[in-house]
Chains A and B, each alone.
Chain A
Amino acid sequence: MNIDKRLVRKDSLEKLFDILKQNSKKIYAPVTKNGKTTFRDTASFSLVSTGYIQTTESSKDISFPRTEKLLDYSKNKEGMSVKGIDLKDIPEVILWGIRPCDAIGIGELGSIFNWDYKDEIYNNRSSKVTVFGFSCNKSDEYCFCTSVGGNPGNTEGSDILFTRMGEDGDYIAEILTEKGQAVAEIASGIFERLETADKEKFLADVPVKFNHNEISEKLDKFFESKEWVDQSLRCLGCGACAYVCPTCACFDIEDEAHGKNGSRVRCWDSCGFSHFTVHTSGHNPRDVQSARWRQRIMHKFSYMPERLSVYGCTGCGRCSRACPVDMNILEHLISIQEVTV
C-alpha cells in the first residue's frame, strides 16, 4: 500500500494511547523499573518511558516468549490425553515504542521460524502484533544499524512509524501497512493531515562502521582464525547477549510435570552456553568458549545470510551493553574486517 504520512501532535500521543485502551487493546510499551527498560503490558500512558536510546531487552518475547507452553498432557485411566496450546487464545497486541532495529528483527526472527517448517505458534503470535515503531533521534556508541543495512528511521517491520520532529516536537506518523491503518482508523482524529515533512533531518547520526557484505565473505575462510580465541578469552558464557538479542532464536524444549499432569515448554537458550551442544555421551562438538563465540558470529553473519538470505544482527548494540565483561560486538566485527587471514 502507499505510505500515508500524517501528523500526530505531541499532546495527542497520550490520547491515542487512551483511545486504544478504551477499545480494549492490549498495549506493550517500554516501562522503566529498577534501571531497566522493558516492554510490559501497560495500563496507563503515564508509565510509558520516553527518552531511552534502546530498551534493555528486545521485544521478541511478545511473539517468542522466554518460556512458552507447547502442549499440555494428562495421564488418566484410559491412557493419555495431550492437547496443544489453543492458538485462538493468543491475544491481539499493540507493540508501542520499539526502535527500527527491533522492528527489522521481527522479520529476521520470522525467517528462522519459517524455514521450510512453518512454526504456527510463532506465526500466530507474530501476526497478532501491530508494531508502532519510533525512529531514533539519538544513538550511542553501541549502535551500528547502518552497518547492517538498517537506519534510524527504517520503516521495515513497523506498521506505523513515528518520527519526532525535534527534541520536543510533534510526530510524523507513517502508516505503512493495512494493519497499521486499521488501528489508525480507531483513532482517526489523532492522525492529522500533514503538508510536507522530511524526517531525515530529525534522525540520529549513526555512522557506518563496517561493510557487512565484506564481513560475510571474509567469514567464509575465517573459521580457523585465532582471532576467535583472542576475542573470547574473557567471555563468561553467561548467555546475556542471546537473551537481549532481537534475533537470537535458539531454544530448549523441556517437560514440566505436576503429578499426573504437566506441560511441554520451550524456553530461550543460547549457543554461548557450554551445555548447549553436549551429547549424552559427554562428547561436545563446541567444547571451548571460543568455538561458541565463533558460532554466534558465524551464525549471524555467515550461516543466516547464506541459508535464510537475512542477517541475524540488526545493529541494536544490546549485547555489548549487556555484556558483563564488556565484549563489544561492533569492535569485534571491525577487527574481523581488519585482521589479515
Chain B
Amino acid sequence: MMDNLYMPYLMRIERITYEAPGVKTFMLKFVNEADEDKFSYKAGQFGEYSVYGVGESTFCIASPPTRKGYIECTFRQTGKVTNALSGCEEGSIIGFRGPYGNVFPIEEWKGKSLLFIAGGIALPPMRCVIWNALDLRENFKDVTIIYGARTVKDLVYKDELKDWELRKDVKLITTVDPGGESPDWKGEIGFVPTIVEKIAPSSKDTIAIVCGPPVMIKYTFPVLAKLGFTDENIYTTLENRMKCGFGKCGRCNVGKVYVCKDGPVFTVAQLKELPDEY
C-alpha cells in the first residue's frame, strides 16, 4: 500500500439495497482484516471505487465513521463504471481506495443547530454527516433535514427517511417537484429552494449543509442568505471529475484549488473566492 498510491483495498459487497430507479447502495466490507484495522475516515471524505477490468469512479463515503467495520456508497447507474457496479452481485469483490479530501468540521459545530438541505442523489454525501451528527445527537441543538427529489420514486434511503420522520429529535421535510407526487404523497410539493423559503428555518446558531444539483444550489444559497445565514455558515461539497483523488491528475483543479485535496467540502465564502469552473 505504502509504495503504490493507486493500489485499492479489496472490498466484498456484503449487501445491496435498491434505493430508487437506477440507484443502489452497496455495503462494503474489507476482504483483508489488516486493511480494515488501519482504515479510518471522517464525514465528507470520498474514495475511488473500481470494478476490475472496467475502471474507477469517484463517490463519497455515504456511511458515517461512527459505524465501524464497513463503508457504504450510493451511486446512480449513469456511466461505464456505475453500469458495471450496478451489474455486481452480493459477494462480488470490488476495489476501493481512499479516503481522500477534507472533512465537514463536525467538532466545530458542537452546540449549534444543523440544517441539512439535499436534492436527489446528493443525499448520500450528506447522509454520512447526518448519521454522524445523530450518533452524537447530544452535541447539537435542532436537527432539520429538507430533502427533495424529482418524483417520489427518486427519493433515496426511503427506510431511513421513515426513521428520521419518526424521531422526535429530527425535523424532516420531504418534497417532490410539481408533478412528481404520487396519489398518497403526504410531503411537500415544490422545488427545494421554494420549500426552504416556505419553512424558513432559523439561522440563529445554525450551520446549513447544502448539497444537490447545481441549479438547486444556485437558487438555495440566496434563500439562505435572506434567512440570515452567513457565507461562513453554509457548507457544501463539490463533485468534480477526478481520476487520482490526491492532487496529481489535474482534473478537479478550479482556480488555485484542487477539489480532491482542498475540498470536496467548502463554505459558500470559500466558493465565492473561486472562478466559476465547477
The reply to whether A285 and B254 contact each other, CB–CB distance below 8 Å, is yes
In the complex, the chain A residue whose C-beta lies closest to that of B53 is A257
From B3, B95, B248, B255, give the contact of A112 (CB < 8 A): B248
Q: Could you say which residues of chain B place their CB within 8 Å of the CB of A119?
A: 5, 248
Query: What does the 1/0 interface line of A266-279 toward B look like (CB < 8 Å)?
Result: 10010100001111
Distance between B46 CB and nearest chain A CB, rounded to angstroms:
15
Task: Known contacts A82-B95, A117-B5, A286-B277; decide if A73 and B256 are in contact (CB<8 Å).
Answer: no
Assess whether B6 is in contact with A71, with CB atoms less than 8 Å apart: yes
Instruction: Select B55's contact among A250, A251, A255, beta carbons within 8 Å.
Output: A255
Q: How far is the CA of A303 from the CA of B10 in the complex (A)?
A: 35
A83-125 near B? 1/0 per residue, CB < 8 Å: 0110100000000000000000000000011011111110010
Of the candidates B54, B56, B256, the one having the most CB atoms from chain A within 10 angstroms of its own CB is B256
- Tell me the complex Cα distance, A124–B3, Å: 9
Cα distance A280–B12 in the bound complex, in angstroms: 25
Indicate which residue in A75, A116, A280, A299 contacts B253 across the interface (CB closer than 8 Å): A299
Interface residues on A, range: 35 or more
- Asked whether any CB of chain B lies closer than 8 Å to the CB of A35, the reply is no
A255-B55, A262-B52 given; A295·B249 CB < 8 A = no
What is the size, in residues, of chain B's interface with A at 8 Å between Cβ atoms?
43
**A84 in complex: contacting residue of B7, B31, B244, CB < 8 Å:** B7
Report chain A residues within 8 Å CB of B199: none
Q: Contact at B214–A285, with CB atoms within 8 Å?
A: no
**A-facing residues in B2-23 (Cβ within 8 Å):** 2-8, 10, 12
Main secondary structure on chain B at its contact with chain A?
loop
A223–B55 CB distance below 8 A = no
Name the distance in Å between A207's Cβ and chain B's nearest Cβ.
31
Q: Which residue of B lies closest to A112 (CB)?
A: B248
A281 within 8 A of B: yes
Q: Contact partner of B277 among A70, A279, A285, CB < 8 A?
A: A285
A341 at the interface (CB under 8 A from B): no
A113–B248 CB distance below 8 A: yes
Q: Is the CB of B31 within 8 A of A79?
A: yes
Q: How far is the CB of B128 from chain A (nearest CB, A)?
A: 21
Chain B contacts for A262, CB-based, 8 A: 52-53
**A283-295, CB under 8 A of B: which get 1 and which 0?**
1011000010001
The smallest C-beta distance from A113 to any residue of chain B, in angstroms, reads: 6
Q: A223-B275, A278-B241 are in contact. Are A253 and B55 (CB under 8 A)?
A: yes
B243 interfacial by beta-carbon distance below 8 Å = yes
- CB < 8 Å A-B pair total: 131
Contact A280 B249 (CB under 8 A): no
Which A residues are CB-close (under 8 A) to B53?
A: 73, 75, 255, 257, 262
Judge whether B54 and A257 touch: CB under 8 Å.
yes
Residues of B34-63 at the interface with A, using a CB-CB cut-off of 8 Å, are: 50-56
Q: Which residues of B contact A277 (CB under 8 A)?
A: 240-241, 251
Flag if A250 contacts B6 (CB, 8 Å): no
A71 neighbours in B (Cβ, 8 Å): 4, 6-7
Nearest chain A residue, comparing its CB with the CB of B247: A115
Bound form: Cα–Cα A19–B214 in Å: 63
Q: Is A10's CB within 8 Å of the partner chain B?
A: no
Report Cα–Cα, A75/B92, bound state, in Å. Answer: 11
Contact A73 B241 (CB under 8 A): no
Are B214 and A283 interface neighbours, CB within 8 A? yes
A156 to chain B, nearest CB (A): 22
Instruction: Judge whether B219 is part of the interface by a CB distance below 8 angstroms.
Output: no
B7 to chain A, nearest CB (A): 5
Whether B10 lies near A249 (C-beta < 8 A) is no
Query: Least Cβ distance of A45 to chain B in Å?
Result: 36
B 49-93 binary contact with A (CB < 8 Å = 1; else 0): 011111110000000000000000000001100100000000001
Q: Once the chains bind, are B6 and A264 in contact (CB under 8 Å)?
A: yes
B261 within 8 A of A: yes
Q: Contacts A281-B78, A286-B277, A303-B256: A251 and B249 contacting too (C-beta < 8 A)?
A: yes
| Interfacial chain B residues near A279, Cβ < 8 Å | 239-241
Q: How far is the CA of A253 from the CA of B55 in the complex (A)?
A: 8
**Is A249 within 8 A of B250, CB to CB?**
yes
Does A140 interact with chain B (Cβ within 8 Å)?
Answer: no
Asked if residues A117 and B248 are in contact (CB atoms below 8 Å), the reply is yes
Instruction: Verify if A302 is at the interface (C-beta below 8 Å from B).
Output: yes
User: A217 near B: Cβ within 8 Å?
Assistant: no
Residue of B nearest to A305 (CB): B256
Is B278 engaged at the interface, CB distance under 8 Å to the other chain?
A: yes
Q: Does B157 contact A (CB under 8 A)?
A: no
Q: How far is the CB of A192 from chain B (nearest CB, A)?
A: 42
Assess whether A252 is in contact with B249, with CB atoms less than 8 Å apart: yes
Please give, as numbers and ranges, the residues of chain A lying within 8 Å of B55 by CB-CB distance: 253-255, 264
Give the interface centre of B3, B82, B254 by most chain A CB atoms within 10 Å: B3
- A82 with B54: CB separation less than 8 A: no
Contacting residues, chain A, for B8 (C-beta < 8 A): 82
* Sample of 9 A–B contacts (CB below 8 Å): A70-B6, A71-B6, A80-B93, A82-B8, A115-B248, A269-B243, A269-B249, A279-B240, A295-B277
Instruction: Kindly list the 6 A-B residue pairs having the minimum CB-CB distance in the complex, ordered from nearest.
Output: A257-B53, A250-B250, A84-B4, A280-B79, A117-B246, A70-B6
Q: Apart from A73-B53, A82-B7, A250-B251, what are 14 other A-B pairs with CB-CB below 8 Å? A: A71-B4, A71-B6, A75-B53, A80-B10, A87-B3, A112-B248, A119-B248, A250-B250, A254-B55, A255-B54, A264-B6, A264-B55, A295-B253, A299-B253
